[in-house]
Structure 1
Amino acid sequence: MMTDLPPRPPRGAGPASTAIPLAVLAALAALAVATVPLAGRADEAAATDAAAATELAPMTVTARRAEEGAKDVPFGLTVVSGDEIEARRLNTIEDVLRATPGVSVNSSGGPNLYNLSIRGVGALYQMSMDDASVVLNIDGTALTPHYSGLGTLDVERVEVLKGPQGTLFGGNGEAGAINITTRRPTRHLEGYLRGEYGQENQRLIEGAVGGALTENLSGRIALRHSGSDLWVDNLRTGDPLSEPTDLAFRGSLLWEDFDGTSVLATAERQQVKALTNLLVLMPYRDPPVNDLTPGLFDDNEKTMERYALEIGHDFQDARLTATTSVARADFTGLVAYDRLIQAATGRGGEYWIVDTSEETVLAQDIRLSSLPDADIFWVAGVNLYHADRSYDTPRNTYGTGSASERDFTTRRYAVYGEATVPVAPRLKLTAGLRQAWEEKTYDATYRGGGTAVTDARDLSDAYTTGRLGLSYAVTPETTIYALASRGYNPGGFSDYSTQPADSVPYKPAVNRSIEAGVKTESADRRFQASAALFFNDVKNNHLLSYDPATYVTNAVNADTRSQGAEIEASWRIGEELTLSGGLTLIDTEIRTNLIGLGAGDVRAGNRVPDVPRWAGRFSVAWIHDLPVRFGNLPQPALNVRADYTHVGARTADPQNSFDLAAYDEIDLHLGVMSGGAEVYLWGDNLLDETRDLYGYFAAPATAYGAPARGRTVGVGMAWQF
């Protein structure tokens, strides 16, 4: 038994009050208001610095499914550029999200299970692959969070949209959306090549090339192959538990005429092998270990594919965009409870389960929108979404006698529209509305005791999401805004039912959200800042209850609340130095008593799992010209980037059984550039702090979780042309 875990709270006892002190909120609000004159001071500083007088290009985003400036978006938004993704070695979408304050990721390290929340809003644990409070959108294709393992191959930018996004992204945008834009073909020859090698056999080679093929046709192709030793060892062999590999490809063709018509065709595929969910007994050993039969995870594999066709045409006052996409995902994964966990919970021998899933999603979106820089922003469209998938458990340690097969379908249809309209000098009104209709079916066969039991159910729903807000231009550089939104996470069926009694549909969740904030940027766009206060009231949030003694799950609902504040800023000082950072304060609370769950009672007043009260980051990027004769290199320059991330303590589960410890992470990039080439050293988690990907409690005093990789260093080289 474990002795250094905190005792489980007594029945009926909730945690101490975590209400945000009004003084803290007032201080953050004052900090937000302070950014207004700060933008003006940044302008004054730039005016006295000739090197800083160069105006930066505006930041254009597609957060509302049409091009506009990031400052004009009337809600919280974090944008991570492709250059920053490469410099920080954020090789998957999960890596990007974990590095974004205000976003929480619950993942056990495998390629298929991701639970995302934004500002403390999200399913307490994901009930199914179709259950998502945060939608992923890649080049117009809507996906669910189990695609969070997608690599950041040749990505232009990642936009993290905070607050309900149901108006433009549908029912799965209850907490927010992740909008991913990949690099499109251009008319000129360009590309890059990057290679890295580091400790624990971390290796990566990646490249892309694109350019004009004919007078009207351009193309681009990108490829990445990566791999590593898993950072958890097998106690029996002393070797890494597995050696995951990742192979990704994307190809695109862009045809354009001279009358505003374009056709973009994209095909991509990613295959991850030998990656596994990590279930490691706490406290972790050094290095962390599992006691398992060698080779159990050799057949783990996930393949993701996407094929998309985007047709666009610019009229005199509007842009037509039609996107048709097909996405497929096939998964086979073995999840294992090793002998250490089994012994700690009073059972003998290892226990493992094999899960398989297949999914095909067909999506069609047709919309009209305003042209970039139009006085009135507007977008309106129709959307169709059809998904067919399975989630099966064909065998476990004891054979195929308790196999389960489950098939699911989702049919979703929607019409939507949003506009931002001037209603007075400096004052704009934003209004958006989406009406959706949804049908789901479920068919299952459960085997056990030599018999087979079937179960079939269906449900239908019609729901409305939207938002209404005002924004006021205090100055040409600074805007304040207030926004009320309604988000929705549809009901459905659990993927993990083991008998018909467990497959009762869970209810839809509704989020009523209020946000107020300020955005500012200097006239030369070298200084940018934003701050916001927010409040979310979620009715019937989704909770997957899991009993570690019986491996049985149940889908239930609980009300939750979150409130907090956030601030982000970046400052380009001269031509060499850039400072950026962000800070979030989030207070969460479960508001429903759930008594008699297999994993233990959930009490009103408990904190929402996986959400730290405080989280923040700070980055310094410095590019400095070296002496002309340095190493006989043409135009040599030193490229230094340091990133500091803080994630505060957060509770591991809805029962608030124990906390995952806070951690601080420092990552470093140190390179020498010459022309379009760079040779660099990299270091990740230089403090070598233990970072938990998740945690779970099993009575009477056992916990297990998934540690992230410790400190590693390596070398790399890159060439852009």
Structure 2
Amino acid sequence: MRFPPPNPLTLGALALSMAFPLHAQSDPSTAATLAPVVVHARGADEAPKDLPYSVDVVDGITLQERRLLNVEQVLRATPGVNVNSSGGANVSTIYIRGVGALYPMSMDDSSVALNVDGSPLSTRQIAIGTLDTDQIEILKGPQGTLFGGMGEAGAINLTTRRPTREWEGYARAEVGQDRQFLTEAAVGGPLTDKLAGRFAIRSAGSDHWIENDRTGGPLSKPRDLAFRGSLLWDLTSRTSALVSAERHRLRHYGEQLVLMPYSKPASVDMDPGLFQDSRKTIERYTLQLDHRFDGSRLTATSAYTDTYNIAPVVYDGKLQSALGRGSREFWNVDEAKERVFTQDLRLSSLPQSDVFWAAGVSYSTSRRSYDTPRNTYGDASAKFRDFDTDRYGVYGEMTYPLTRRLKLTTGLRQSWDRKTYNARYHGGGMVQTDSRKLDDSFTTGRIGLSYALTQQATLYATYARGYNPGGFNDYAAQPDDSKPYKAAKTDSFEVGFKTDSADGQYGLNGAVYLNRVRNNHLLSYDSATYVVSALNADTESRGAELQAVWRPGDGLAFTAGVSFIDAQIKTAVHGIGDGDVQAGNRVPDVSRWNGTLGVTYRKPLPAFLGLSAPVLHARVDYQYVGKRAADPQNHFDLDSYHKLDARLGIANGRAEYYVWGSNLLDEQYDLYGYFAPPSVAYGAPARGRTLGVGVSYTF
């Protein structure tokens, strides 16, 4: 069992929790009662049952108790959502209900919108941490009205905690096996009569769970550091301004290409210094102005993000040998930069209005690059690729009561995209240049009906149109590779129900759906020559979901969810270097069955060890993920797995001391998989079983 050496930040947080008296009383029955859930899916405070589509909500307390430290971990724990990630900080694919690019063409090729406090981020940034997060919403089904071409499959809304009018905050510290450590703290409150502020910081790290045969130690030592500051200024009684700035820095991450079957522990054979300079930074600055009129609300959101990533893609010695290329590792360095400015201006109805409506205009401009400046043999074959994108949108959505029980929801968005591509390809002592342009305009939206059987039970049916714009291939190595890929278009149908009891003791939601995607994006890759090209294939997914919550009382609560997805490729694609794709193949990475079960329990205990009012707090979370195809060719399947996590704590007043366990069954499940003809498979395993301890304090 490897625990980290004492960390100054960790020791500081532990000291903070000890410095305050532990005599404040805590009512366990109150702690177990959840406040009504409010979502911001359409830019307003609404109850989930008022939306004619499915929404999964993970609140900040659950994020902390389940140790979901970044957005990717949240998505992997959500039924109906699948993620392909090679373990690095910049490469990932998200599927919601089986909809997503078969292989993304570029950092701009995303079927899912990711928004942080109303400002968009590329889904390549799902490594972003959940620092001081209020809640995360996963919106399922096309969200084209508000998010345009980035919401073909759905959207992820992350809402951070805002400054408050009373001083409050928290601190927590954890240590665990594999030298895991985490220290996090936040504090906020009034600075003047009209100004409030909040500041949050997190430092985390561990030894990598994959070992390097050359050193006998961990492949690297990943480190995360994040902070955020925000100011809320009441300009007038009706006008406010929220300013925030944050920075996330991740170091020593990189893509893992590990030969299958894995050893235990999994290991690679490579130069131990290759990940030393790997780093990713995400900076975000936002200004949100909000003005309330007598019958409406005007919101203007301006955001600027600056992201940078540099990391090697390494074929280690064992993988090279299996591919017949000798025993020396081969690596490329990928370097990506992106600067994005977005502006959204929205006029909407007030909360609790009989008619919900929102209308607005948006603009974004992106300047990014995806370069391969060097590889094992130097910079003679360097590639430099620049991408510029300008997006404009006009949108509106309304929910109108046709009768006392029947409501109509309709939304429409018109979008315009303009993209340009400029590149320089070095090779053979020569330099080739390439320049291209692409203009596109498209319409997305939805129409739905909801019917209130009772105040607590609603039926709904929705049709939505999604769109994933065309663009240029990030990985082009010559002009022929950079031909624009086609836009993908989705028709989605959903029928469902939502129920909850008046006292919040139980709830049950369910849905069935059908998604048809034309010209889904498929990146062709030849592992023998490293040549890539852009192709398209139609896909279809159908399935069902069921979610339930039950709080029988006495501090006990149950949550459960199950998802079934049948996702298939409907058209054959030939001419791919690593094998043809046949019609009828399964969509890669999408498991047919996925289920979760969570149990929480709170119970007051007699005083002991100087604790005046201790409360036992236990939590167990189980997840099942079924087998899924590793690639569009369906060369092989990734195995199903069971994941069991647990947390046991003793709370007393404002402090809690706890132990935690992650992946207690020690499953060596796959983050992704790939096949290289004629018979080589590789991928990356997730971290195995780890245990740890922690302490938290709220004030």
Q: TM-score, normalised by structure 1?
A: 0.92
Q: Distance between the aligned counterparts of 1:355 and 1:478, measured in 2?
A: 51
Which residue of structure 2 aligns with residue 531 of structure 1? 510
CA contact (8 A) 2:32 2:602 kept: no
Q: Give, in whole Å, the separation in 2 of the partners of 1:297 and 1:57.
A: 45
Residue 680 of structure 2 aligns with an amino acid whose one-letter code is: T
CA–CA distance in structure 2, aligned partners of residues 459 and 110 of structure 1? 30
Deviates more, 1:58-67 or 1:306-315: 58-67
Sequence identity (%):
57
For residues 354 and 552 of structure 2, the distance between their equivalents in structure 1, rounded to whole angstroms, comes to 31
- The residue that corresponds to 2:496 in the other structure is 517
**1:56 Cα deviation after fit:** 5.2
Looking at structure 1, the residues matched to 166 and 666 of structure 2 have their Cα atoms a distance apart, in angstroms, of: 43
Superposition CA RMSD, Å = 1.3
1:610 equivalenced with 2:589 (yes/no):
yes
Residue in structure 2 matched with residue 64 of structure 1 by the alignment: 42
Q: Which one-letter code corresponds to 2:276 in the other structure?
A: D
What are the Cα deviations for residues 416-453 of structure 1, in whole angstroms up to 9, with x where unaligned?
Answer: 01011001220000000000011000000001000000
2:609 counterpart SS class = helix
Matched residue, 1:273: 251
What is the match of residue 119 of structure 2?
Answer: 141
Q: What is the aligned partner in structure 2 of residue 105 from structure 1? A: 83
Q: Does residue 698 of the first structure (1) align with residue 676 of the second (2)?
A: yes
Query: 1:429 and 1:110 mapped to 2: Cα distance?
Result: 43
- Contact kept in structure 1, 2:60 and 2:134, CA below 8 Å: yes
CA positional deviation for 1:690: 1.2
Q: Which runs of 5+ in 1 are unaligned?
A: 1-50
1:429 is the counterpart of 2:414? no
Report the Cα offset of residue 529 of structure 1: 1.8
Deviation by residue 1:530-585 (Cα, 9 ceiling, x = unmatched): 10000000000001111111111111110000000001111222251111011000
The aligned amino acid for 1:475 is T
C-alpha displacement of 1:55: 7.9
Q: Does 1:588 align with 2:567?
A: yes
Aligned positions of 1:143-162 closer than 5 A: 143-162=121-140
Counterpart in 2 of 1:453? 432
- Corresponding residue for 2:466? 487
Q: Within 2, Cα distance between the matches of 1:341 and 1:553?
A: 20
Q: Deviations over 1:385-439 (max 9, x none)?
A: 1000000000001111100000001100000010110012200000000000110
Q: In the TM superposition, what whole-angstrom CA distance separates every residue of 1:474-520 from its partner, at most 9, and x where no partner exists?
A: 01100000000000000000100000011010000000000000001
Match of 2:444 in 1: 465
Alpha-carbon distance in 1 for matches of 2:505, 2:431: 66
* Partner Cα distance (2:578, 2:192) in 1: 62
Choose which of 528, 533, 536 in structure 2 pairs with 1:554: 533
* Aligned residue identity for 1:388: R
1:376-395 pair list within 5 angstroms: 376-395=355-374
Which residue of the partner structure matches residue 309 of structure 1?
A: 287
Q: In the alignment, which residue of structure 1 is the partner of 2:19? A: none
Q: Structure 1: how far apart are the matches of 2:505 and 2:49?
A: 13
Q: In the alignment, is residue 679 of structure 1 matched against residue 657 of structure 2?
A: yes
Tell me by how many angstroms 1:257 deviates: 4.6
How far 1:254 sits from its partner (Å)?
0.3
Query: What is the alpha-carbon distance in structure 1 between the residues aligned to residue 115 and residue 306 of structure 2?
Result: 15
C-alpha distance in 2 between matches for 1:418 and 1:384:
18
Contact 1:560 1:589 in 2 (8 A): yes
Residue 296 (structure 2) aligns with: 318
**Residue 350 (str. 1) matches residue 323 (str. 2):** no
Name 1:708's counterpart in structure 2. Answer: 686
CA distance in 2, matches of 1:290, 1:623: 44
Secondary structure in 1 matching 2:508: strand
**2:100, 2:90 → 1: CA distance?**
17
Matching residue of 1:340: 318
Q: Helix, strand or coil for the counterpart of 1:170?
A: helix
1:406 maps to 2:389: no
Q: How far apart in 1 are the matches of 2:584 and 2:342?
A: 40
SS of the residue aligned with 1:340?
helix
Following TM superposition, the consecutive aligned residue runs of length 4 or more in structure 1 with deviations greater than 4 angstroms are 51-56
Q: Which digits, 9 at most, give the CA deviation of each residue in 1:221-270, with x for residues without a partner?
A: 00000010010100111010100101000000001255221100000000
Contact 1:326 1:360 in 2 (8 A): yes
SS of structure 2 residue aligned to 1:236:
coil
Q: Give, in angstroms, the shift of residue 58 of structure 1.
A: 2.1
Task: Give 1:60 shift.
Answer: 1.0
Quickly say closer, same or farther: Cα 1:623–1:697, change in 2 above 3 A. same
Question: TM-score if structure 2 supplies the norm length?
Answer: 0.95
Q: CA–CA distance in 1 between the matches of 2:179 and 2:669?
A: 20
SS at match of 1:149: coil
- SS of 2:98's equivalent? coil
Change over 3 Å in CA distance of 1:254–1:469 after alignment to 2:
same
Please give the alpha-carbon distance, in whole angstroms, between the structure 2 residues aligned to 1:268 and 1:76. Answer: 30
1:524 deviates by 1.6
For the pair 1:567 / 2:546, whether they are aligned, the reply is: yes
Secondary structure of residue in 2 paired with 1:550: coil
Helix, strand or coil for the counterpart of 1:630?
Answer: coil
Distance 2:473 2:508 in 1: 41
For the Cα contact (< 8 Å) 1:56–1:526, is it kept in 2?
Answer: no
Tell whether the 8 Å contact from 2:230 to 2:244 is kept in structure 1 after alignment: yes
**Pairwise CA distance, 1:595:** 1.0
| 8 Å contact from structure 2 (residues 235, 241) kept in 1 | no
Aligned-partner SS, 1:206: strand
1:260 alignment partner, one of 222, 229, 238: 238
Distance verdict in 2 for CA 1:227–1:590, change over 3 Å? same
Question: 522-531 vs 182-191, which deviates more?
Answer: 522-531
Counterpart for residue 178 of structure 1: 156
Contact persistence 1:52–1:573 (CA under 8 A)? no
1:624 aligned partner: 603
What's the secondary structure of 1:211's corresponding residue?
A: strand
Assess, with a 3 A threshold, how the Cα gap between structure 1 residues 396 and 311 changes in structure 2: closer, same or farther: same
- In the alignment, which of 211, 220, 223 is matched to residue 198 of structure 2? 220
1:415 match? 394
Alpha-carbon distance, 1:636 to partner: 0.6
C-alpha change, 1:370 and 1:127, in structure 2 (3 Å) is same
Gaps of 5+ in 2: 1-28
For the 8 Å contact 2:251–2:279, the answer to whether it is kept is yes
CA distance in 1, matches of 2:86, 2:669: 12
